[in-house]
Structure 1
Amino acid sequence: MTAGGTGGRSRRGWAALGVGAAIALGVLAPPAAADPAVPASGTLTWSITPGTEAGIAAHGTAASAGRRDTTTIREFTPKRLEAPVNTVAVDVDATVPEGTEAALDVRGLRADGMWTEWTEAVPGAPAVLAESSATVQARLVVAGERAAEVRRVDVTAWNAPGAAATPRILAAQTYRVFATREGLVGGTTANGHVIKPRDHFVALPSRRGLANRNSGNYTVQVCTSTNSRCEWAPVWDVGPWNTKDDYWNANREMWKDLPRGKPQAQAAYQDGYNGGKDQFGRRVANPAGIDLADGTFWDGLKLSDNAWVNVTYEWTGSGPWGTIATATDPLNVRSGPRASAAQVGLAARHAQVRIECQVTGDSVSGTQGTSNLWYRLASGKYVARAYVKVGVAPGNC
């Protein structure tokens, strides 16, 4: 749902590239069967006044690709609803200056405590959540050199039979993609995090999987090509190259003719796709589908140059999970359930990790108490339970 090019006029509803469009609230016709664009009975409505809720300060996005828009993201307080919904429409009272774009993303809290991906609510095509949820969160994304004035967001949500996206699968999606090092120490990521020396996070070329600041609610497992070393790191930036290329999804936002798992930048670089250019018309100089912060690049994976890596998008699967709860530094990932076992990677603070199972090993004292349990995150990859805040507990290995 992109808005812009209106010369600063006030309007209701978002305008798509300067063409006005709106979704009226409370006056829509009775539902057509399984039509997500028409509210069903039991429709729920509420309003958001952005000026009353704290947001993230202005910051750059897609920095790794050399694109430094001034972007503001405001994450609104999650709304607890009377009943589960899977379809969300919005109507916005805003003034958006020439050259500024605005979007309203929504997501739902899953039954297991994790979130669906952020999905843009577009006029005439409301956002459809991956599964029905009784808790919905919205965020406002404004990009451009001039600030937009958003006075009010009216939200309508309902449960449209058959509208939910594809059901969840047990195993998260894994793809082989090219990784580059982000660097940019002192800069600010797309979620407002100020980049530190040897930092631990990644960037993906779509904000659908952009985690909240100081959160790992979207985390990847990124491993060397041989899987000898891995790091679990939160997605805190948007890039490289594109900003709407969720290539890990079957129904990707752009470039729908490309095979799932192939980043548009890779297709442009290797195959001349889109004339060898990204979504902004820039010549693609490498096939990167992920950027790695310095600590992830150098310390987690022990890379010395850009490389092909195996990336698992943890939120696309299901099953037991937990949050890495170290005080500051990343958690060592060991080859076995012992403090003396070889270090074979890292798990960044805040990362939400999938857990295969648990085993008994050395007793360790940490932020979550003292425990002799260890969690297996992948084959030959273990972390101490004492540093993991459990979301859904695993069974025994």
Structure 2
Amino acid sequence: MACARRRTLVALTTLLTVTAGLPGAPATAAPPPAAAPDRPAAERWTVDLAVRGGDDVNVAWRSGRLRLADPRPGARTRPAAAGGPVAEGILLVAPRALDRPATRVRARLAARTADGGGATAQVRGWRARGWTEWRDATEAVFDQPVTRVQARVVLTTRDAASEAAVTGLTLTADQVAATAAQPAAARTYRVYATRIGLVGGVTANGHTVATRDHFAALPTRRGLSPRDTGDYTVKVCTTTGSRCEYAPVWDVGPWNTRDDWWNPAAVRENWKDLPQGLPEAQAAYQNGYNGGRDQFGRTVRNPAGLDLADGTFWDGLRLRDNAWVDVTLLWTGGGARAVVGSGPLNLRTGASTTYASRGLAATHAHVPVQCYVTGQRIAGTYRTTTRWYRLVGGTYVSHAYLSSVYGGTVPRC
């Protein structure tokens, strides 16, 4: 007798909150507290799950359900850098401007999964210093009040027999008073980098890999930029510091897809017993951690915690083989950012094209701006100007190729 397929109905309600500590109790009796003011009503909305192309990847809306357009693992249905034995798709919902700032969001996801299929709702919030990392609905926390909320739905299947379908997603945002956290310096670690290659493959955000492309991959979706954005940008440098590139994160991998190795244990998705900054693949390769295997059970054959597209690898860093590099996760810090609208853009040692290049800033990368100077007059993609920005680290880029600047005031050097 054929066995009935096991089905699971998921109803996920999440409370994302930041609260301030309470003062200690008084030594003497206090008068009854005044009545607390009414809290503004929660803002609630139902997410439109219809697929309209654009930033959506391998998903389709059919018969009232969001499904994978192609549930079979392959070169165009799984993250190019990970090469994991699953197909995946992402529905990226347009950001919603909130009626008032919020630090608490509740997400309710209705999904049907079976035979190895998976469905996850993720959210992020916008504050002055940029987007928060993406968080699974059961884990997300906003460190400051946010004025916009964006959601995405991630579907995965291990073969054509798997089921992963979403029928509804509702988000609720509350206004909660919270003290803004002072942004820390962006986190930097030394990790092993490999070259992606895979020209013609499709990245996790739907970008088709081109010859001598410029982007990076990290083994988690938490820092995955939507297509043609650099919301999550890394600065990757050779260990000597002689060459660097700013590159947007457009893919998921190598090896794992749920290893945000730069986060502390309280936040990290998996492998919470590993030291902060140590990728699971490195621990598996060097120390036999997890039996020397990745999350899919594959034997780890190199310690990579970062993948680089060919242009970043060969032209930005001028590497000739896989190597250890220093990588800075720029969204983990604060300060002003400039968006490279036209690149790859040379990182000069001074405010003129006569100065040596020390690397590149890829198109869409968000680069940390320290101050500005007057230098060579440049006629660029966006304007003709003598303004040059000095980036954190000491290199310079012309304002002529930058589409926007956000996150703070930029002083004169």
The TM-score with structure 2 as length reference comes to 0.83
Aligned residue in 2 for 1:11: 9
Structure (1 or 2) with the larger CA radius of gyration = 2
Q: What is the match of residue 45 of structure 2?
A: 46
Q: In the comparison of the two structures, how many residue pairs are matched?
A: 367
Of residues 305, 325, 328 in structure 1, which corresponds to 2:321?
Answer: 305
Choose from 247, 270, 290 the match for 1:274: 290
**Which of 134, 142, 147 is 1:129 aligned to?**
142
- Asked if 1:171 corresponds to 2:188, the answer is no
Q: Report what 2:411 is aligned to.
A: 395
**Does structure 1 conserve the Cα–Cα contact (< 8 Å) formed by 2:371 and 2:410?**
yes
Q: Structure 1, residues 344-378: CA drift from partner, whole Å, max 9, x if none?
A: 10100011111122121111111220111111223
CA distance in 2 between partners of 1:94 and 1:65 (Å): 25
Query: Is 1:66 aligned to residue 93 of structure 2?
Result: no
| SS of the residue 2:283 aligns to | helix
Cα deviation digits, residues 274-310 of structure 1 (max 9, x gap): 2222122221111111000000000000000011101
Partner residue, 2:306:
290
Q: Which amino acid aligns with 2:106?
A: A
Task: Tell me: CA distance 1:10–1:269, structure 2 relative to 1, closer, same or farther (3 Å).
Answer: closer
Cα offsets for 1:225-271 (capped at 9, x unmatched): 01111000000000011111111112311111211111111111112
Does the C-alpha gap of structure 1 residues 282 and 68 become closer, same or farther in structure 2, counting only changes over 3 Å? closer
Deviation by residue 1:31-85 (Cα, 9 ceiling, x = unmatched): 99879xxxx8632211013126545232433433431522111110111112222
**CA deviation vs aligned residue, 1:76-126 (integer Å, no higher than 9, x gap):** 0111112222232222233334221111110001123x100000002xxx6
Q: Post-superposition shift, 1:24?
A: 9.3
Percent of paired sites with the same residue: 48
After superposition, the C-alpha distances for 1:309-345 in whole angstroms (9 at most, x for unaligned) are 010111111111110011xx41111111111111110
- Structure 2 equivalent of residue 245 of structure 1: 259
> Are 1:336 and 2:350 counterparts?
yes
Q: 1:174-185 maps to which residues of 2 (within 5 A)?
A: 174-185=188-199
- Check if 1:261 corresponds to 2:277: yes
Aligned amino acid, residue 135 of structure 1:
R
Letter in 2 for 1:129: F
Unaligned 5+ runs, structure 1: 1-5, 14-21, 26-30
Give the 3-state SS of the residue equivalent to 2:50 in structure 1.
helix
Counterpart in the other structure of 1:96: 113
CA drift at 1:160: 5.0
Supply the distance in 1 between the matched residues of 2:371 and 2:361 (Cα, whole angstroms). 16
CA distance in 2, matches of 1:225, 1:88: 41
| 1:364/1:384 contact within 8 Å kept | yes
Q: 1:372 to 1:154 in 2, by over 3 A?
A: same
Question: Per the alignment, do residues 32 and 245 of structure 1 end up closer, same or farther by CA in structure 2, a change over 3 Å counting?
Answer: closer
Aligned residue in 1 for 2:371:
357
Distance in 2, Cα, partners of 1:300 & 1:68: 31
Deviation at 1:390, TM superposition (A): 2.7
Q: Which residue of 72, 76, 96 maps to 1:79? A: 96
- SS of the residue 1:63 aligns to: coil
For 1:379 and 1:157, how far apart are their aligned partners in 2?
38
Contact map agreement 2:235 2:330 (CA 8 A) in 1: yes
CA–CA distance in structure 2, aligned partners of residues 148 and 53 of structure 1: 19
Match of 1:57 in 2: 57
* Secondary structure in structure 1 of the residue aligned to 2:301: coil
Do the aligned residues in 1 keep the contact of 2:82 with 2:219 (CA within 8 Å)? no
Is the CA contact (8 Å cut-off) linking 1:116 and 1:131 kept in structure 2?
A: no
Amino acid at match of 1:345: G
Q: CA deviation at 1:129?
A: 1.9
2:82/2:252 contact within 8 Å kept: no
What is the DSSP-based 3-state SS (H/G/I as helix, E as strand, rest coil) of the residue aligned with 1:222?
Answer: strand
Which of 171, 194, 213 lines up with 2:227 in the alignment? 213
* Aligned CA distance change for structure 1 residues 8 and 131 (closer, same or farther; 3 Å): farther
Contact 1:85 1:157 in 2 (8 A): yes
Per-residue deviation at 1:149?
A: 2.9
2:153 to 110, 121, 140: 140
Contact 1:321–1:394 (CA under 8 A) maintained in structure 2: no
> Match of 1:60, SS?
coil
Q: Name the SS for the 2:131 alignment partner.
A: coil
Given that 2:57 and 2:205 are in contact with CA atoms closer than 8 Å, whether structure 1 keeps it comes out as no
The 3 A distance-change label for structure 1 pair 361 and 8 is farther
1:356 and 1:68, CA in 2 relative to 1: closer, same or farther beyond 3 A?
Answer: farther
Deviations 1:142-196 (A, max 9, x none): 011346332221112224566x9x9352421111111000000000000000000
CA contact (8 A) 2:48 2:93 kept: no
Name the aligned partner's letter for residue 111 of structure 2. A
Q: 3-state SS of the aligned residue for 2:353?
A: coil
Distance 1:159 1:277, change over 3 A: farther
1:222 aligns with 2:232: no
Matched letter for residue 77 of structure 1:
A
How well do the aligned residues superpose, as a CA RMSD in angstroms? 2.5
SS in 1 for 2:186: coil
Paired residues of 1:53 and 1:76 also in contact (CA < 8 A): no
**Partner-residue secondary structure (3-state), 1:358:** strand
**Matched residue SS, 2:300:** coil
Q: Which residue of 1 aligns with 2:165?
A: 149
Uncovered stretches (5+) of structure 2, i.e. residues with no partner = 22-38, 59-75
The 1:271/1:41 distance shift into structure 2, 3 A limit, reads farther
Tell me the SS of whatever aligns to 1:278. Answer: coil
